[in-house]
Amino acid sequence: MDEIGVYTWDRTPANAADMVQSLRDTGYTFVPIAHDPIKDALDTAQRMSTLTDEDLCRFVWEDVDEFGSLGWEKRVLTDGVRRDMLNVTGGLIANDQHWLTDEHRRLRAICVAAHHELHAVLTEVYSAIDVQLCLDSPITQLLDHEVSTLRLLWYVGVEQPDTSPYPTPPHTDLGLVTAVVQDLDGGLEVDIDGTWYRLPVRAGHALVAVGDLLEVITDGDLKSRPHRVPARPRQAPDAGNRVSMVLFAHPAADFELAKTMANPRWTTAGEYLSYRLAHKGEPIS
């Protein structure tokens, strides 16, 4: 599988046109970040990988309230491929749950710092898109109405990666934009017009991806590209794990889509999301 070239944006307005062109060509751009959250998180996440299944189950959806969740979500696929993740969602970041261990708290602090940093990156990307595409209704206005979810994903290496299902099967992200930081072994692959490519890995950078809603808002000018992550071989009892951090940005449920596009198919961002979740796997266009 070939690797696709992805433009690195230096976060200056002078190079914003090239950045947006990269989003148009590949659906992705690299953006440098000051701290590498994966480097910070890896140690703690690996140590937490010694938690037993029972421990992990305790953290599933515990203490969830209407603002979201903070917990381990444990998924066991049919052949035993595990994809465990720490899911830190908006409102609960500030809450202190009684069941959090010191390692959870450390990991949560790393996630909160990463959330801020990645959100700053996305803010600059929004502004650049507004300017470059001359959008009548700027997407920067969404920043006041945004809900974002940060996920720390931890994939466990498997015995037979070639015959194992993809822990993250091919899909597009439903939201506006997504920022991803992966560990140095990478793994993310993207489908561009029917051909799969490996995405490059660049230390100290986040990958920013076009989501389905941005494709809708830009009337297909920027396309949300299907992507996937294959299973990694288990090399030793604890090696072969993959860690990535993903920030999904989405307008709040009551955001009226008519503010960013003419004649929207859905009235609010919430209706859009409900429709997409009810029609999983259906392409947006």
Ligand X SMILES: O=C(O)CCC(=O)C(=O)O
Q: Residue from 38, 229, 247, 269 that binds ligand X (CB under 6 A)?
A: 229
How many residues lie near ligand X (CB under 6 A)? Answer: 10
CB of 205 to Fe ion, least distance (A): 17
Q: Residue from 36, 117, 173, 183 that binds Fe ion (CB under 5 A)?
A: 173
The amino acid at 225: R
- If the CB atoms of residues 107 and 246 are measured against ligand X, the closer one turns out to be 246
Which x/- pattern over 26-65 shows residues binding Fe ion (rule: CB under 5 A)?
A: ----------------------------------------
Under rule CB under 6 A, residue 246 binds ligand X: yes
* Region of residue 35 (left: phi > 0; alpha: psi -120 to 50; beta: else): beta
CB of 82 to ligand X, least distance (A): 14
CB of 104 to ligand X, least distance (A): 20
According to the 3-state scheme, what is the secondary structure of the chain? Answer: CCECCCCECCCCHHHHHHHHHHHHHHCEEEEECCCCHHHHHHHHHHHHCCCCHHHHHHCCCCCCECCECEEEEEEECCCCCEEEEEEEEHHHHHCCCCCCCHHHHHHHHHHHHHHHHHHHHHHHHHHHHHHHHCCCCCHHHHHHHEEEEEEEEEECCECCHHHCCCCEEEECCCCCEEEEEECCCCCCEEEECCEEEECCCCCCEEEEEECHHHHHHCCCCCCCCCEEECCCECCCCCCCCEEEEEEEEEECCCCEHHHCCCCCCCCEHHHHHHHHHHCCCCCCC
Which of these ranges, 67-75, 180-188, 258-266, 271-279, lies near ligand X under the rule CB under 6 A? 180-188
CB of 211 to Fe ion, least distance (A): 9
Q: Return the residues of window 147-166 that contact ligand X according to CB under 6 A.
A: 153
Q: Return the residues of window 181-210 that contact ligand X according to CB under 6 A.
A: 182, 188
CB of 197 to ligand X, least distance (A): 15
Tokens coding 191 = 């489908």
Among Fe ion, ligand X, none, residue 153 binds (CB under 5-8 Å by kind)? ligand X
CB of 227 to Fe ion, least distance (A): 6
Measured between alpha carbons, how far is 247 from 181 in angstroms, rounded to an integer? 9
Among Fe ion, ligand X, none, residue 44 binds (CB under 5-8 Å by kind)? none
CB of 58 to Fe ion, least distance (A): 27
Nearest-CB residue for Fe ion: 173
Under rule CB under 6 A, residue 244 binds ligand X: yes
Residues in the chain: 285
Under the rule (CB under 5 A), what is the footprint of Fe ion? 173
Under the rule (CB under 6 A), what is the footprint of ligand X? 153, 168, 173, 180, 182, 188, 227, 229, 244, 246
